[in-house]
Amino acid sequence: STSMIYNFAGIITHFNIEGADFDVTPFGSGHINDTFLVKSKIVSYRTYLLQKINHFVFKDIDGLMNNMVLVVNHLKEKIAQKPNGNSEKEVLTLVPCNNGKYYYKDDQGNYWRMTYFLEDTRSYDLVTTEKQAYQGGVAFGQFQYLLADLDPAEIVDVIPDFLNIEKRLRDFNNAVANDKADRLKTVVTEVEYLSSWSTAMNDILKLGKAGILPLRITHNDTKFNNILLDKNNDIQCVIDLDTVMPGYVAYDFGDAIRSIINTAVEDEKDLDAIQLNIPLFTEFTKGYLSETLSFLTEPELKSLIKGVMLLPYMQAVRFLTDYIEGDVYYKTHFPDHNLQRTRAQIQLFKILELNRSKLSDIVNTEWLLLKSNAPIKKV
Ligand code: ADP
Ligand code: MG
Ligand code: MG
């Protein structure tokens, strides 16, 4: 296995940790980094997580780790002010290296970082209950709330243009113009469909550029398995902070909804199986708004539904771009995998469009309910 090729004992000596004689085992189901559990053979010592940072995806490791330090320090300060807040359980804790940095570069050019392992927690790949959906909304809403007073200018764009639809459409149009893999003739319908929506999908960016939507600090990978739940299935901690960057709140809302609301998998072959789970949408929205009520502006509230449309659209554009270019970016498991992914995301987009006003009404209703009931939340 891949875990055998690393000199873990050597790597671990560079981190400031307690204990000795460690067992190191692969952990979790993340797709980006390689994650390992580091457990001392003496059970009274703390357990750690060691991660090899994917530096093919993240080129600027200094910028990335700098972001992470700023974000966790800010979160810890805020959590410490909260009644019963526990900044060690609710926020990731980075372990410093002997060189004073928060990562260690080994002689093979791999980048390693370490955090405290959070005991008695679980992450789930799929949302199956309304409680989970609600907790997901609370988690990502609170994350944005706690970071709302950290200046986005301090956070670097670790992946420039990651959620920039203008840039994604430019790449898409280039792929169409070049037709490198000679596949364009097989996807004319999909290309025309996505092109017909391109102007409408520019809304969030336009409002941002006009200063109507504020740039904030967003998570940008709001998958459900980037939340740790405690024994009672309550939110404990938001993890996977690699893509934390300046962004618009609707991006996080939309990307979370993209997976939570879909009853099928992202690359579903049977398009009829793609349906909306409205109760999960409602619960996520309730949880999210309960945390963001105090700072969300009216235009931001209105933008949430735009994010719900934009994120599946952007994913369809990216999958189709890759298909047209001959499958150069995403790993594919069978010949037309990127096309199947494209069609599934287009189908989701179409159903969302059909239900757009219904979903929008839910957001507005929950907002009004919360506004009339809840005292303004302060941490
Ligand atoms: P990736 O970017 O590869 O998704 P993550 O940082 O999300 O990496 O970590 C992968 C998995 O490891 C998570 O989904 C979660 O299950 C687990 N995990 C990550 N950090 C912690 C932690 N501090 N304590 C417990 N489990 C964790
Ligand atoms: Mg993850
Ligand atoms: Mg990640």
ipTM, 2 decimals? 0.98
Q: Would you say residue 274 lies in a domain? A: yes
User: In terms of residue numbers, what domain contains 6?
Assistant: 2-60+92-116
Asked whether residue 263 falls in the same domain as residue 147, the answer is: yes
The pLDDT confidence band at residue 3, using thresholds 50, 70 and 90, is very low
Distance 266 CA to ligand 3 centre (A): 17
Domain termination residue (choose one: 116, 151, 182): 116
Asked whether residue 145 falls in the same domain as residue 284, the answer is: yes
Asked whether residue 110 falls in the same domain as residue 149, the answer is: no
pLDDT recorded at residue 238? 98
Question: Residue 106 sits in a domain of what CATH number?
Answer: 3.30.200
Asked whether residue 21 falls in the same domain as residue 104, the answer is: yes
CA of 31, closest atom in ligand 1: 3
- Mean pLDDT of all residues in 12-22: 91
Asked whether residue 44 falls in the same domain as residue 98, the answer is: yes
Asked whether residue 233 falls in the same domain as residue 309, the answer is: yes
How many domains does one find in the chain?
Answer: 2
pLDDT tens digits, one per residue of 183-224: 999 999 999 999 999 999 999 999 999 999 999 999 999 999
State the Cα–Cα distance between residues 172 and 166, nearest whole angstrom: 10
**Given ligand 1 and candidates 240, 241, 243, 259, which is best to mutate, with the most ligand atoms within 8 Å of its CB?**
240
Asked whether residue 53 falls in the same domain as residue 158, the answer is: no
Asked whether residue 198 falls in the same domain as residue 308, the answer is: yes
pLDDT tens digits, one per residue of 252-292: 999 999 999 999 999 999 999 999 999 999 999 999 999 99
Q: Would you say residue 266 lies in a domain? A: yes
Asked whether residue 342 falls in the same domain as residue 255, the answer is: yes
Minimum mean pLDDT range among 2-6, 8-12, 257-261 = 2-6
Q: Would you say residue 124 lies in a domain? A: no
222 Cβ below 6 A of ligand 1: no
89 Cβ below 6 A of ligand 1: no
Distance 185 CA to ligand 3 centre (A): 35
32 Cβ below 6 A of ligand 1: yes
Asked whether residue 353 falls in the same domain as residue 230, the answer is: yes
Asked whether residue 105 falls in the same domain as residue 211, the answer is: no
**Given ligand 1 and candidates 49, 88, 229, which is best to mutate, with the most ligand atoms within 8 Å of its CB?**
49
Question: Residue 336 sits in a domain of what CATH number?
Answer: 3.90.1200.10
